[in-house]
Structure 1
Amino acid sequence: MERLTRLDGLRGLAACGVAFLYHTQLLFAPDMHGGEAGVYHWFHEWGWALVDLFFLISGYIFAHVYLGENAGGGGQPLARGRLLDFAVARFARLYPLHLLTLLFCAAVFFAAPGNTPIAFGAHLMMLQAFVQPVANTFNGPSWSISVEVVCYVLFALGAAGGRRTLRLVTALAIVGALVHFLLQGRSGGPWVGDGLPRGLLGFFLGQVMWHCRARMAQTSSALLVCLLAFGLALDMGTRSSLLPLTLYAWPAVLLLSLRAPFMGSAPMQWLGDRSYGIYLIHMPVLQLFQLRLGELPGTGATQVVVIAAFAGTVLILADMGYRMVEQPARRAIRCGFERRRAGSGSGRTSPV
């Protein structure tokens, strides 16, 4: 199965956008915001919406891996016998670093108001997006991971039922999310109640894009650039402007990235491999910066120096986490699962 390295690079850039251009504004006094240049100001206002690009990329890659010609499964997108393999692969990919950052936050930030035993239990069970206050307990950005888990479950159950069932699940997820935003969506954001609809819309729209990839490949790059600009510029008034981002801007970014050789280069692949670590590690580090430095009044060069120091620290820790936690834990979990299954005599091997 060919790896979509260019989308890995895109995911790395999106993680950096959330961590280094959106959340870093928390390091500075509120009166320091608002005078930034156009692009920087956009990231301060809308950088949180890059999480929706994560969802879109995940859906596209999942379809590529599990629905592609070489995915196997005896005629079904994800045969019932492979559901356990799927679950173990997802657990090995997501849980070890999530658990490590959760325990760190519990130990260091235990006195924070939202860090209750109930919230800790929700994080342990990957349900943190469904306990209040969302994004303000322990490692806040991890709310999106629990939303992705819901998408994984729906995808796996739908795929195990066959292509028709998966198409029905995809349609219901997308339509349900659109109805939510059309009826309940509010301007600005991010809003707590939008978490699950955001995940469902992005993840399953990514799968639709994969199915339509041949036709989309014929779309001119100029048109994609226009769609990107349109999605970024469209103001929905009292409604959520997240919709044009998810429906126009981010699909255009994904398709343009697939056409850009640089996105699959070694530096971008390095960044993509560490994107999960960047996303999970940056908030605990930012909170430590806040405790040490307080609320900084600096502008211009001061901001650049602080953000550069913060980004460098996160990248170093993300690299360490990838090499010392993510990769070893993933191998250990999969090997342990294979040994246990071999001992039971099933004889199957994990495809992922």
Structure 2
Amino acid sequence: MKQNPSVFPERLYALDALRGIAALAVVFWHWQHFFFQGALPGPLQREDQPLYSLFSLFYRHGGDAVSLFFSLSGFIFFWLFSQGLAQREISGKQFFMERFSRIYPLHLLTFLAVALLQKIYSAHTGNAFVYPFNDAWHALLNVFLAPAWGLEQGWSFNGPAWSISVEVLLYAGFFLLWRYSPAPLLLSALLIAVSLWVFPAQYKISLGVFGFFCGGLGYIAADWLLRRFDVRWVAAGLVLACGAGWWWWCGDDAAQSPLVRFAVLFPLTIVAVAACHPWLQPLARRVSWLGDISFAAYLLHFPLQIVAALLADKFLPGRAVFYQPWSLLLFFAVLIGSSLLCHYVFERPVQRWIRRRTGGHNKVAAMAR
């Protein structure tokens, strides 16, 4: 595929590592699921959660990592796909089949697993585990990747998949923007403004839109700077700006608005990490496997939580066990192990099979995994 030479290498291992950390942050945020009473939050002792002093940031703000995912997606898609779409070097079929092969097989597998596990859980407890709308209508929405398009009555089945549902809309918008619009950057800025204006109404979609396109424009800004100035000065400036932004967020109540993190700090962090790739790559390469398994960890952690809750109720002295550090360590060990197995035994083989059958761009697909 012919594109303008990128200022970045073919793979940014530091962003892979960042994506993996974000996925695990969501798992910490969802640790509270173990203390729900049906679909309602239970009497959670937040600071008594296991190893809270080490992971308090994730326990308190791990849910925000979903917005970091959106910004990462925007940065990566603008980097890898924008010029290819604009120059008609990637067809619509190739683009969407590569995305389909990446997200749908595991989404469908975990949806079916949760549907079965929720039936078992409801039979034992009389209610669903956390997400209550597990009926035929919401099953249909999940099968068609639409549980977060405003058609739903509430949270259903594998609840974390809501962000995957929003990503599908973002893929479509991104494709249309770069394939057919004469001014994709201007329209990206307009979409950010509109999404900020409507937030928090339709917050799932608006969250995805401004996160994705802020990340995309962040890539455009980084590319512009790195083509014109020495990488050391650009990296230093971005790191200082990023550090100042996080310091301001931590110390100023006015900066606590989620929009500050989602629209400014997260994209700025991604751009700073990407600009520092010459220094981060050697270390990041060693932990980039966290990025490889991030999608599996994100979709597998909720069904594993149902299994853990059932086992605790039957064989252990109730949910209080989830305040114990060993339960956290054991859960993460099982999650990471199963995610590695899923990635290499299921995700990759199925992706390769679908892409071979549909003639996808294997190189670009691999870079965007």
In the alignment, structure 1 residue 24 sits paired with structure 2 residue 42 = no
Q: 1:230 to 1:118 in 2, by over 3 A?
A: same
Q: How does 1:118-267 map to 2 (within 5 A)?
A: 118-130=137-149, 131-134=151-154, 136-164=155-183, 166-181=184-199, 184=200, 193-213=202-222, 214-215=224-225, 217=234, 219-236=237-254, 241-258=257-274, 259=276, 261=280, 265-267=284-286
TM-score (norm 2): 0.79
Q: Within 2, Cα distance between the matches of 1:215 and 1:178?
A: 26
TM-score (norm 1): 0.83
Q: Percent identity?
A: 28
Q: How does 1:1-352 map to 2 (within 5 A)?
A: 2-19=10-27, 21-28=28-35, 30-34=43-47, 40-67=55-82, 71-72=83-84, 76-77=86-87, 79=88, 82-110=91-119, 111=122, 112=128, 113-130=132-149, 131-134=151-154, 136-164=155-183, 166-181=184-199, 184=200, 193-213=202-222, 214-215=224-225, 217=234, 219-236=237-254, 241-258=257-274, 259=276, 261=280, 265-294=284-313, 296-297=319-320, 303-338=324-359, 352=365
Q: Is the 8 A contact 2:238 2:272 kept in 1?
A: no
Gaps spanning 5+ residues in structure 2: where? 1-8, 36-41, 123-127, 227-233
Give 1:106 deviation, angstroms: 1.4
Q: 1:170 to 1:264 in 2, by over 3 A?
A: farther
List, as ranges, runs of 4+ consecutive aligned residues in structure 1 with deviation greater than 6 Å: none
Q: Within 2, Cα distance between the matches of 1:270 and 1:2?
A: 16
Q: Is the 8 A contact 2:17 2:291 kept in 1?
A: yes
Q: Is the 8 A contact 2:218 2:268 kept in 1?
A: no
Q: Is the 8 A contact 2:238 2:268 kept in 1?
A: no
Give 1:266 deviation, angstroms: 3.5
What is the aligned length?
322
SS in 1 for 2:104: helix
Instruction: Please give the root-mean-square deviation of Cα atoms over the aligned residues, in Å.
Output: 2.7
Q: Which amino acid aligns with 1:205?
A: C
Q: Which amino acid aligns with 1:96?
A: P
SS in 1 for 2:91: helix
Q: Which amino acid aligns with 1:171?
A: A
Cα deviation digits, residues 220-252 of structure 1 (max 9, x gap) = 523321112223454359xx8210111332123
Cα deviation digits, residues 162-194 of structure 1 (max 9, x gap) = 451x2243123201111123xx47xxxxxxx31
Q: Within 1, Cα distance between the matches of 2:311 and 2:148?
A: 28
Q: Within 1, Cα distance between the matches of 2:238 and 2:295?
A: 31
Q: Within 2, Cα distance between the matches of 1:38 and 1:253?
A: 24
SS in 2 for 1:126: coil
Q: 1:256 to 1:327 in 2, by over 3 A?
A: same
Q: 1:311 to 1:92 in 2, by over 3 A?
A: same
**What is the aligned partner in structure 2 of residue 189 from structure 1?**
none
Give 1:143 deviation, angstroms: 0.2
Q: Within 2, Cα distance between the matches of 1:14 and 1:124?
A: 25
Deviates more, 1:204-213 or 1:254-263: 254-263
Q: Within 1, Cα distance between the matches of 2:265 and 2:282?
A: 18
